[in-house]
């Protein structure tokens, strides 16, 4: 009896997933202890959890361990750190050329040493964003030397329009982010009009340096500001509250300590960043913690005031805004997302050597009022695995320009507000045996975005697409947080399952018929091996040991071109299509057969005279 054995060797090897990398954009909150004032040489460096390309820092309020007036300054925000310090108006007054009747010395003497205070802070990546739940947020910087003070109401200054479109007025937070002038200064915000007792509207606001009764002139400084849609919700599972008082509700230091409710209860005391949103009192003021400070369902603040020209800290109440977030936590900021899936030629989502796989990408703009511009830099890139041979003629895109360079697919184009762009490209799985050692071929693309509105800051026209986001295969959740945003379901690489198994049929004839046998006669056995797919056979082993009473009387031959073969198979694995092979004695071959193709092996034999 003639025996034929085909062995297909497949060794599983886990495909390598991409390592964690910097992707996405973030904000975070925290609390820092300050042991002394800036004028006494104390700045504290805060190291952030995340690394920021263009950080905007909001700091305050300060706690209330010292009765004397204290506010906060920020400087040197870059990368993963910034410096924060507390400053008292009484310490820097003697250097300020405020007009009469400002005294050369403050009405109240500053202490030589200060008790420690804590300051709340928020860092946001500069730009226009939304939270994962759709809440709108934006963070920008504004350069100005304009000072509002008791001597100057700075009427008719320019309005700052939001980048977002808001249905109702957002929370507006603000802090001086530079230290170009060491003299005391703060910042103030109000409506887009000369009415300083009215808070920011849903379209614009005014923002200046705040000199109170201390400063009338000051060197140009950079003010950081953040606008957040009002409401409560969660950012990747972390609760937040963004709100503003309904009126001029928060009075001065000597008048009250106002309790404000978040509208949501936190498991522990959150970080609370709070700022005034009006300036009804001409003497100037800023938000400071008081009483019980920060609690799980509410916090306590009043308006602090300098004691330079006089000692009183009474007056007119103000609008106050806040943002509360879990203490020491970070949240995700979103703009453009990319999903990536695949289909294969066989339709079973398993690919083998030589099979065509098509990738389908959807780019989605999550914002309804902000456009990703068609910048010089690419908006999308995908470096395909070396086991994928890109079909350059398969590249397609709804809009923009898609191209290939080596293993890299690039797309350049605009993504309109609430817009979607679909990309598609195909690649052939490499026809080599090493592919069969993989369990999958892993690929992950990146979308590149520019969240910075060029109209928000003079001269800010970078258009560099410096923020990257990883593509996600929505059909799976690998449990890994590759982009380090506290979620595992939004950053999954696309894993193309590899399977080198195929349905193989084998026929064998002796050339004289199964019922004919003549001792001592010669004949030729013909073996036809057909790969019925769905995948190419790479490195398939064919072994045939001659039985007793049968001897070969010539070399066997393997020919991919002999019918029904068409010359596309190879009788030597790894060699070009159409490669033949001959041998003597028992058959032992390692072959490659494309899906739905055949090869023929012929073996001349002589039957024994004695059956």
What secondary structure does DSSP assign to 540-605, as a single string?
Answer: EEEEEPPPTTEEE-S-EEEETTSTT--S-SBSSTTSPTT--EEESSSEEEEEEE-TTEEEEEEEEE
C-alpha dihedral sign at 276, 62, 323, 335: positive
CATH 2.130.10 fits 502-607, yes or no: no
Which H or E run contains 467? strand 467-470
CATH 3.30.70.3270 fits 337-450+488-498, yes or no: no
What is the per-residue pLDDT for 461? 64
Runs of H (alpha helix) within 63-178: 89-92
What is the per-residue pLDDT for 601? 96
CB atoms within 10 A of CB 405: 9
User: Which parts of the chain have pLDDT scores under 50?
Assistant: 1-22
CATH 2.60.40.740 region(s) of the chain?
A: 337-450+488-498
Instruction: Give CA–CA dist 400/414, Å, rounded.
Output: 7
Give residue 23's Cα distance to chain centre: 4
Instruction: Give CA–CA dist 206/203, Å, rounded.
Output: 11
CB atoms within 10 A of CB 468: 17
């Amino acid at each position: 009896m003639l025996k034929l054995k085909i062995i297909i060797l497949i060794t599983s090897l886990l495909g390598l997933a991409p390592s964690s990398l910097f992707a996405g954009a973030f904000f975070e909150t925290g609390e820092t202890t300050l042991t002394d004032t800036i004028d006494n040489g104390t700045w504290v460096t805060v190291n952030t959890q995340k690394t920021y390309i263009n950080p905007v820092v909001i700091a305050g309020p300060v706690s209330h361990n010292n009765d004397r007036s204290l506010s906060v300054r920020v400087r040197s925000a870059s990368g993963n750190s910034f410096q924060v310090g507390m400053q008292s108006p009484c310490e820097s007054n003697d250097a300020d050329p405020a007009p009469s009747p400002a005294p050369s010395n403050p009405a109240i003497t500053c202490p030589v040493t200060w008790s420690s205070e804590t300051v709340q802070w928020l860092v946001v990546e500069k730009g226009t964003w939304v939270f994962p739940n759709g809440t709108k947020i934006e963070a920008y910087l504004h350069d100005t030397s304009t000072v509002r003070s008791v001597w100057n109401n700075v009427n008719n200054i320019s309005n700052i329009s939001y980048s977002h479109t808001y249905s109702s007025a957002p929370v507006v937070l603000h802090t001086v982010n530079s230290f170009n002038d060491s003299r005391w200064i703060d910042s103030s915000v109000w409506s887009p009009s000369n009415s300083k007792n009215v808070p920011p509207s849903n379209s614009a606001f005014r923002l200046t340096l705040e000199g109170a009764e201390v400063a009338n002139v000051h060197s140009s400084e950079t003010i950081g500001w953040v606008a957040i849609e009002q409401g409560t919700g969660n950012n990747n599972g972390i609760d937040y509250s963004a709100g503003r008082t309904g009126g001029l509700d928060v009075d001065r230091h000597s008048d009250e300590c106002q309790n404000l409710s978040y509208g949501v209860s936190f498991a522990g005391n959150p970080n609370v960043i709070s700022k005034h949103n009006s300036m009804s009192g001409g003497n100037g003021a800023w938000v400071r913690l008081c009483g019980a400070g920060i609690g799980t369902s509410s916090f306590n603040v009043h308006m602090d005031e300098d004691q330079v020209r006089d000692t009183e800290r009474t007056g007119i109440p103000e609008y106050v805004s806040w943002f509360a977030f879990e203490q020491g936590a970070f949240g995700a900021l979103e703009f453009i997302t990319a999903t990536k899936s695949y289909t294969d030629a066989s339709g079973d989502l398993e690919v083998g050597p030589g099979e065509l796989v098509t990738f389908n990408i959807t780019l989605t703009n999550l914002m309804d009022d902000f456009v990703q511009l068609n910048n010089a830099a690419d908006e999308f890139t995908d470096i395909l695995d070396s086991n994928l041979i890109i079909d350059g003629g398969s590249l397609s895109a709804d809009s923009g320009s898609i191209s290939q360079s080596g293993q890299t697919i690039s797309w350049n184009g605009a993504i309109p507000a609430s817009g979607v762009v679909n990309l598609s490209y195909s690649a052939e799985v490499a026809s080599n045996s090493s592919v069969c050692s993989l369990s999958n071929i892993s690929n992950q693309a990146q979308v590149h975005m520019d969240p910075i509105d060029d109209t928000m800051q003079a001269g800010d026209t970078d258009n560099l697409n410096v923020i990257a986001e990883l593509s996600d295969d929505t059909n799976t959740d690998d449990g890994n947080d590759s982009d380090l945003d506290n979620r595992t379901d939004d950053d999954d690489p696309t894993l193309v399952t590899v399977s080198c198994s195929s349905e193989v049929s084998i026929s064998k004839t002796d050339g004289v018929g199964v019922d004919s046998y003549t001792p001592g006669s010669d004949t030729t056995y013909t073996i036809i091996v057909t790969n019925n797919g769905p995948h190419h056979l790479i490195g398939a082993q064919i072994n045939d040991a001659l039985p007793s009473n049968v001897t070969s009387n010539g070399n066997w031959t393997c020919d991919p071109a002999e019918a029904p073969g068409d010359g596309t198979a190879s009788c030597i694995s790894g060699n070009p299509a159409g490669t033949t092979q001959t041998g003597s004695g028992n058959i032992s071959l390692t072959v490659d057969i494309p899906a739905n193709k055949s090869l023929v092996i012929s073996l001349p034999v002589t039957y024994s005279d004695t059956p």
